[in-house]
Amino acid sequence: MGTQIYQNYRPSADWQQSAEGLTVHMKEFGMDRVVGFDEYAVGVLAAVLEPDANEETMKVMAVILRTYIAYMSAGGRPPESRQLGQPWLSAQERLAKGMDEEKLRKAVAETEGCKILYDGQPILPLYCGVTNGKTRNFSDVWSGELPYLVSVDSIWDKGSSDYMEKIFLTRKKIIRELAEADGTENNWSQLSESMVQIVEKDGAGYILQIEIGGQTYSGEELRCRLGLPSACFDYTVKNDGIEFTCYGRGHGVGLSIYGADAMAGEGKSWEEIISWYFPGTSV
């Protein structure tokens, strides 16, 4: 998204450095300037959370963002042209969304300096909007393993309005999207049940491999190519297309924002929430 992170960056004279010394060079969102971590964090939290989010959820996300920046700056070397890829809202946009500025800033201030660690090092603190009721192992989506990104229950997610979504895609649209990605042309005259087969699922129920029209795709690859909310889905071939019934939103790895907020609503602290979704870590 064009956001680069710098430490030990010398800001202009009219800029006041944040207490933590972290700065963010923002070249998008209608600006080109350096902002302190606090200001950046408030904008990100406002973008990823709803106005009625619990204060503990705000603290969780503040710690996740701080940890992510520390992870990307491992070894004290500022990332070169790395993109955080986080959404961000300006003060005006935060007001329009109905976010409580005071609560956002309080969450950032009260977790100052807090990071999620594994073996004394900042972790890669992945998160998603909502899962299918269970998070995924890192290795089910990407190569390698991370011991703190393993599957855990997130049963609260089944109560989310985003838990399930039905999407119908026509045969022509599916052919077009897959052909653009493959650089090949398909001439399916029709679709049939036999042309679509789930090859393998992971332990959380997400699709690892699926075959469509003789081509095999990973679940995440197909999700991105077809614009599906999740790689956990059922399907029905009908009316010259496919109806996908998707469960959850995003890659499903790490913390679920919806689940975290539900835990906060039950009285769990931000430390307890982090411990649940990132087992074996400390803060």
Clarify whether residues 11 and 96 are in a common domain.
yes
Look at residues 212, 221, 218, 230 and name the one whose alpha carbon lies nearest to residue 166: 230
pLDDT tens-digit map of 155-210:
999 999 999 999 999 988 988 888 765 655 565 666 777 889 999 999 999 999 99
In a domain, 21, yes or no: yes
Cα distance between residue 170 and residue 176, in whole Å: 10
pTM of the predicted protein model: 0.86
Clarify whether residues 169 and 106 are in a common domain.
no
> Where a domain ends, among 84, 115, 146?
115
In a domain, 279, yes or no: no
Instruction: Tell me the H-state helices in the chain.
Output: 37-48, 55-72, 91-97, 101-110, 171-182, 219-226, 257-265, 270-277
In a domain, 281, yes or no: no
> Where a domain ends, among 55, 87, 115?
115
In a domain, 131, yes or no: no
| pLDDT for the residue 2 | 30
Q: What is the extent of the structural domain holding 57?
A: 3-115
8 A C-beta contact, residue 138 and residue 202: no
User: Domain count of the chain?
Assistant: 2
Clarify whether residues 186 and 103 are in a common domain.
no
Look at residues 35, 41, 37 and name the one whose alpha carbon lies nearest to residue 14: 35
Clarify whether residues 24 and 81 are in a common domain.
yes
- Better-scored residue on pLDDT, 212 or 132: 132
| pLDDT for the residue 10 | 35
| pLDDT for the residue 187 | 59
Q: Residue 68 pLDDT > 80, yes or no?
A: yes
In a domain, 182, yes or no: yes
Cα distance between residue 71 and residue 135, in whole Å: 21
In a domain, 152, yes or no: no
Pull the structure tokens for residue 34.
């350096």
